[in-house]
Every structure is written in C-alpha cells, then in structure tokens.
Chains A and B, each alone.
Chain A
Amino acid sequence: MTPERESFWHLVHAEWTKFRTVRGWVLAVLLTVVAIPAFTFLATDVSGGCTQSSGGHATACPAPPLGPGDEPVSDAFYFAHQAVTGDGTITAQVTSLTGEVPAVPAGQAADGPGGQPWFKAGIIIKENTSQGSAYAAMMVTGAHGVRMQWDYVNDTPGLAGDVSAATPRWLRLVRDGGTITGYDSADGTHWTPAGTAALPGLTSTVQAGLFAAAPPGGDSTTDTGVFRHVGLSWPATGWTGTNVGGTGPNGVPLPGSLRQSGGTITVTGSGDISPAVGNTGSVDSLQRALTGTFFGLIPLIVVAAMSITAEYRRGLIRVSLTAAPRRGRLLAAKVVVIGAVGFAAGLVAATLALAVGTPLLRRISIPLWPASLPTEARMVAGTGTLLAVAAVLALAIGIIVRRSAPAIAAVIVVIFVPYLLALGPLQGANGQAPLWPLQITPAAALSVQQAIPEFYQVIVVYRPNAGFYPLAPWAGLAVECAWAAAALALAYYLLRRRDA
C-alpha cells in the first residue's frame, strides 16, 4: 500500500463515498434539511389565538408597546411628574416601600411570597408619558436593595438592604444631555454613583418625577412609596399624577394615586416597567422558527447510527478494518464525514428556517423579540453544531452497541425525553417543572437556539417551550459535546479492544 493510499484524507474520501452512494441515507439527510424549515410554518401559526388562555378558550393578547430598542416591554406604572427642560438634577429620600397584595383565593396557588421582591418605587426621568419611551430610574425594591434601571432591559445594583424609616435611601438622577447618571446615598451627603445610562436622542424636554410599580401580581397588586425631601434643580411647576398605560375597563391595572402632605409625597401604583418576557403570551422568540430541529434530528440520528451498524450487520466492517487497519483513524474518518454531513444539513436547514420564519413571525400579532445578527448567526451555526454532535453521538453509540435499533433509541431518548420531562409530568400548578434535565443531558444543546434573554429582574416562569433554556447557549452545546466525547472515547476503546 502506498503512503498516499494510507493518508487520512483518502480514508475520509472513502467513507464519504460509502455514505453518499446509499440512496436512502442521502434521502434521510435531505429529509432533515426539509423537515426543519417545513415545521416552521406550523410553529409560527398562532391563528388559534395567542398562548394566553382563560377557561380553555384562547383569548386575543393585547400587543405590548415597544421600547427604544424595538423590544416588547411592559410599561404601566403610576407617575407623579412634571415637565423639565435641559440638564438638571432630581433628588428624593425614600422612607418606606410597602405592598398591598390581594388575598389569594382558597385553592389557588400564590405567585410566590406575595410577589414582592421586585416591588419598586423611586425617581425617574422619562422622555414622555407614552408607553415605551426612553427612561432612566433610581429605585428602592422589595428585596433587592437600591437599583438603577433604564430603557427597560438594563439593571444595575446600588445600595443593598431594605428601605425603612430607620434606614432611608436617598436617590438622585443627574441629566447631562443624553446621559443620565444615578446616585444613591444612605445619609443625603455622601453620594455613590450607581450607574450611567446613555439615552441617545433624548428630547430636551422630559418628564421627571416619582413612580411606583408592583410586579408581578397580574396588575392586581399595588405598592406604595413614601418620599421626602424631593428636590428638583429645574423650576418647579407642580406635580401631575398619570397612570402610564392607562387603566383597564375593570380597573385593571389598578389606578394609582398621588398624595401630598407637608414635605411628604406618597405614590401608589401597580404594573411594571420592564421587558415583556416569559410565558405571558406577549412576546415571541425567533427560536420558534427552529422548533423543527426535533423533526430533523430523527432521520439524521437514524442515518448516523446506520452508517456504522450497517457495516457490522453486513460484515463490511471487516473489509473496512482490513483496508484501514489503524482503527482510530477509521473512527476519525467516520466522525469527520458524519459530523460534516450533520453540520452542513443543520446549517442549510437553520438558514432556511430563519429565512422562512422571520417574516412569518413578524406577520403575527405577537411581537418578536429582536434578535441581532450575531444572535442569528449563533443560532444557525449552533443548530449545525447541535446536529453534527448528535450525529457523532449516534455514530459512537452505534459502535458501542453494534445494533441499529438500540443505538437509535438511546440517542433519541437522551435528546427528546429530557425536553419532555422539563415540560411534562413534574410540572406544578404555576407551569414550572424542574429544569435539570436540560442541564445535564445532550438536550442542553438546544440552548444554543435561544433568541430571547432571561431577565432576573422579571419574575415569570421561563419555560423551554417559550424559548428559555437553563444554560447559556455555548454552555449547553458544551454539555452535548461532553456526551459525544465520552461516547466516542468508549467507542474507540471498544473498537480497539474487540474483535470486529
């Protein structure tokens, strides 16, 4: 045998020839490529109503307002404000934050301990009183100390600890053109910067004032902030109270209130100023366009396992090993071929699915969380990698068990069942099931398709079927890679040790 014939790439070429000349396998890979974008049509169909349902009947969800970054937001709170023009400073001391949570009806689950940890009240500078306008705010919260938040998605901590009459919190916002800096203080003399918000394009005249919002509580809870020593560097024109976002037909969200007595201003409000995420039916994830991945995985797993089990079944493995006596190299060549096939299939399928799904998702009434180009690139490349690694896992398990049916069943089970368990039988009344199946199994790799961020400052149930996964995108993929690597190591060991 000449050295040329022994070269690794020659072996890869031989394996590729074996693969592409089996018509059924090529058809199965084509099925993978077609199934993923085809399912996008069904996954993006919400003509039966949005995910909100009451009494088994779907109800139309109102479209949420869009924030400065085109992201869907919740923007409903009580705002005591006055118009101010140009640069300046607003300062206030908060002495109390209390919540009013309605009693939970008997037999119903509470939303957690009163839903209080992210109750918020503080000072805010907001472009205007319409929903979705730019803002920056300093606030005290129920259980997370002082925070600075701006433009719905940004949050940074300030002073820790709860607010009370004995431990009041001083808050300050300083506007300098399109930049607003937040400060906090425990005594009103020593100030610490909490964060700086860049609000490009902020109008010269804005609304500055005090606010209160009481998430989550489904608009039926309120909270009350008590302010003293409220000072504005701008000329004071008197406070106006506004329910930003209005109040609903049945008084939901509950109307807020503004009370002034002496130097004390009391503001009561409900709702929230936050990104609209979670299972509220108010926002969709681009990941929905890729849910066909599950359909595409099955034919690919079948083919990947068969690419080796068929050799065992027909005794071809003995010919292969005679031609390529170094078994590790044969394994590597097979991994390269099946991995490349899976990666290419995933790349093409995910590109098609996003191309088909993006306009479909834009068309429906539920707004789409905006995905940046790098996010879309990560989703496409990640789907390719997910499929490639799943195919390699199937190949490795095929070598280990040498039979197609058990190998295919094993791979399908470790990818599909964890996902179903994260939705299924352990799901409690609030819809939250344990998420560890999606952290330790190959199904964790689905997180690479996540297109919508989780916000720790918004308490909702982040479910996988709404596009939220417990691991970071690449971490999830790494878990799948670890499984494939472990299976490959065992396959290599057995391939070398066993008589073929």
Chain B
Amino acid sequence: MHHTIEVKALKFAYPDGRQALCGVNLMVEPGRKMALVGPNGAGKSTLLLHLNGIFKGQEGSVEVAGLSMDNGNLGQIRAAVGLVFQNPDDQLFSPTVFDDVAFGPLHMGLDEHEVHHRVESALKAVQMESYINRVSHHLSIGEKKRIAIATVLSMSPEILVLDEPTAGLDPRARRNLINLLRDLDMTMLVSSHDMALVAELFPLVAIMDGGQIVAEGETAVLLADKGLLERHGLEMP
C-alpha cells in the first residue's frame, strides 16, 4: 500500500515530562483527505510532527507511504511527506523565495534544469510566480503561507500535511488556499480550527482531544453532532 498514513498506539512525552500523545490510532488511506480538529493543546501539532520523523514517539509506531520510521528511511519519508508548519516563519529560512522553494529539490540531488522547472510549477500552483526573487521575510503572512506550501510542493510529495493553513489569512487568501487544496490530488491530513474549511473540503474528519483521537468518520455525520463538538471545545460557525 502506498500514500498512506498509519499511526498505531503512539505515545509521546516532551522532555519536560508533559505527556502530549496518549495512544493515538489513526489511518488515512491513499488519496483520502482528512481534517484533524480539536481544542488547543490536544496534541494535533505534536502528532503532525511525528509524520516526518521530527519527533519520535516513545511507544507505538508510525508508518507513512509504506515506510516505517527508521533513521535510514528518513530521507525518503521526507520526500514522501510534505509538512507545512503553522507559522510560515518557521518554514522559510532562505534569503529569497527562489532559494526556499529550490531547497527541497536541490537537496534531493535533482539537476539544475529540473530544479528550475519544479520551482516554477510550484510557484504557479500557489499563484506566486512573480514573487520568485523577493526576500522571504518581508512578505505578508498570506504570501508567506503560500510560499511555504510551494516549498513543499516543489518536492512532489505523495502526502500533504498542513498545520492550520488558514490561520491568519484574509478572506481572499483563504479562498485562494481552499481552491488550491481542492485541486491538489494527494493524500492530505490537515489540522485546523476553521470548521467551515473542514466542512467544505474534507470528506473525513478526526477529532482529537487530550492526546487521543476521540472520534473519526465522515465529516457530514460528525459535524452535525453538536454535543460531540461541544464536549471537545469545538463549534460550527
């Protein structure tokens, strides 16, 4: 099986002792788009950081795209999983937009011609072609978020993992992002507080609270259950 995310009984505690994940079980099948919702502090960002090997759980297992989380596999895992952080400032570390978007392909060892091609198509996908020579940290947050997504798209990942993609975006930027995500054809796991986004784009949803997945299933069904949402600090707009 390919393009899958499989998390089994994952437990993780931070070095200062805080137990962030208390046995997470999650499965996202190839090509499916799933939203991950839950209150602040539920462990959503922590879980997402396990998906490309930044964090390693103390118990349980994580398998993405059929690869288990060994040190030897990390290079391939990071090619397969495109992780976009919540804060675009955490994602952009190169002087210009071109350098940031080109970093992934360059690291993978692709030749110059291919790198240029990938950068152009990634920027085109997020509608930021004219920004190619701009300085990354002088852009507005909406622009930075789109460049952050481009930095990951240029690596042609099979799985896209986004942490709060619409947070801080104005309505137009948000609409552009929704259109972009709708057109992308890859397995997706997106953590968000934006329930309208979840209802519009994601057929599947998982609710996370207290370090565990407390409910999982079809969005239409789960989001109609007001009691369930309220119990876990959520509400529909």
Q: Are A and B bound to each other?
A: no
Q: Which residues of B are at the interface with A, using a C-beta cutoff of 8 A?
A: none
